């Protein structure tokens, strides 16, 4: 049932990851850290850091047909960005869709920070990527983002055909907090009237607020980036109160996973959230859901946004996109 690739763990980062950190430090850039910055400073740092990661000439390096639409969200307008694969003629044949949710702990980042990743996914999956500019916490908290995810799916189903999208071939995907939303959307689509999702792509997701795991013990000090302390803070911003909820809509690792479509799960080997993905794969196996789990041993959290300077990160994203292509492009 599962297709699992789990290499031997040595806890050594890819040399290009180390070089990337040194280059960023010399440029005076640091990843966002809302525990040591104001929220506005952290969001600005995230945008500037991802400009550095993506490169200054991204549209020329990865050309794509990019359009934006606005639909009704649960409490106001919801912006969607459609990234069409390059070189695909608009001949009336609808293309499959990957509805994508960016990472950032529900607090930082945007569809702009993830621009290079979105373009790579469109290029190598053959699907139109529908990136969702969902609301950030703490200004908007759970379950608001779950409602926005469902609104994006409903827009694709009801209006996507007018934009060359195939409402019968829809996948959901996301990284980190976005993977939480993507898995939640798959659960909602399973229980909603209408076409179910065809596939789910999950990159190093945050699926439950459990910090008593081996990966948190190994990597929670932040030696490779993300820290357990920061994860606790992100959950508090998203959920409010103590940042703990047993509601499977907030922590989808706790949900009944039966009836889900096939999944591709990419875990980062040097990530305090690594075990969220490994535990999810175990639960999917118990539920007899087809899935592929790939552990990218030498990569840290957020590797999908490091595809320009880190070759193995690009290879991991292309592998994930190929899973989408094989599932949707028939």
Give the domain extent around 308.
Answer: 2-328
Q: What CATH code is carried by the domain that includes residue 300? A: 3.40.50.1820
Least confident among 87-91, 139-143, 206-210, 278-282 = 87-91
From 115, 271, 275, 276, the catalytic residue: 271
> What are the pLDDT digits (tens) for 232-252?
999 999 999 877 788 999 999
* Span 281-295, average pLDDT: 98
Mind spelling out the 3-state secondary structure of 208-230? Answer: CCCCCCHHHHHHCCCCCCCCHHH
Name the H helices within the chain: 15-26, 39-54, 58-61, 115-125, 144-159, 177-191, 214-219, 228-239, 274-286, 311-328
DSSP labels for 101-126?
A: E--STTTS--TTTTHHHHHHHHHHH-
Number of structural domains found in the chain: 1
Active-site annotation holder among 102, 166, 301, 302: 301
Query: Which of 59-68, 74-83, 127-136, 228-237 shows the lowest per-residue confidence on average (mean pLDDT)?
Result: 59-68
Joined tokens for residue 298? 């030498």
- pLDDT tens across 149-197, in order? 999 999 999 999 999 999 999 999 999 999 999 999 999 999 988 778 9
Nearest to 113 by CA among 209, 182, 207, 177: 177
Is 271 tagged catalytic?
yes
pLDDT at 55 exceeding the cut of 90: no
Tens-digit pLDDT profile for residues 197-220:
999 999 999 999 999 999 999 999
Which of 176, 198, 302, 323 is an active site residue? Answer: 176
End-to-end CA distance of the chain: 22
């Amino acid at each position: 049932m599962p297709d699992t690739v789990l290499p031997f763990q040595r806890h050594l980062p890819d040399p290009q990851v180390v070089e990337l950190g040194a280059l960023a430090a010399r440029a005076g850039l640091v990843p966002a850290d809302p525990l040591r910055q104001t929220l506005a400073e952290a969001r600005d740092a995230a945008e500037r850091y991802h400009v550095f990661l993506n490169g200054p000439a991204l549209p020329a390096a990865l050309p794509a047909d990019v359009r934006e639409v606005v639909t009704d969200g649960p409490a106001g307008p919801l912006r969607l960005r459609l990234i069409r694969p390059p070189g695909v003629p608009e001949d009336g044949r609808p293309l499959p869709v990957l509805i994508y949710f960016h990472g950032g702990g529900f607090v930082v980042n945007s569809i702009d920070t993830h621009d290079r990743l979105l373009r790579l996914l469109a290029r190598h999956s053959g699907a139109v990527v529908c990136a969702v500019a969902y609301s950030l916490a703490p200004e908007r908290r759970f379950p608001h983002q779950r409602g926005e995810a469902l609104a994006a799916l409903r827009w694709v189903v009801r209006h996507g055909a007018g934009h060359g999208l195939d409402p019968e071939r829809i996948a959901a995907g996301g990284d980190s907090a976005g993977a939480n939303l993507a898995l939640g959307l798959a659960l909602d689509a399973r229980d909603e009237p209408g076409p179910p999702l065809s596939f789910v792509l999950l990159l190093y997701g945050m699926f439950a607020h459990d910090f008593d795991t081996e990966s948190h013990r190994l990597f929670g000090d932040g030696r490779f980036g993300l820290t357990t302390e920061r994860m606790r803070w992100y959950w508090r911003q998203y959920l409010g109160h103590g940042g703990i909820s047993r509601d499977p809509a907030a922590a989808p690792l706790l949900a009944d996973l039966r009836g889900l479509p096939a999944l591709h799960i990419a875990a980062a080997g040097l990530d305090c959230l690594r075990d969220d993905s490994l535990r999810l794969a175990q639960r999917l196996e118990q539920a007899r859901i087809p899935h592929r789990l790939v552990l990218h041993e030498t990569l840290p959290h957020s590797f999908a946004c490091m595809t320009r300077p880190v070759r193995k990160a690009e290879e991991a994203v292309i592998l994930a996109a190929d899973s989408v292509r094989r599932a949707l492009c028939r």
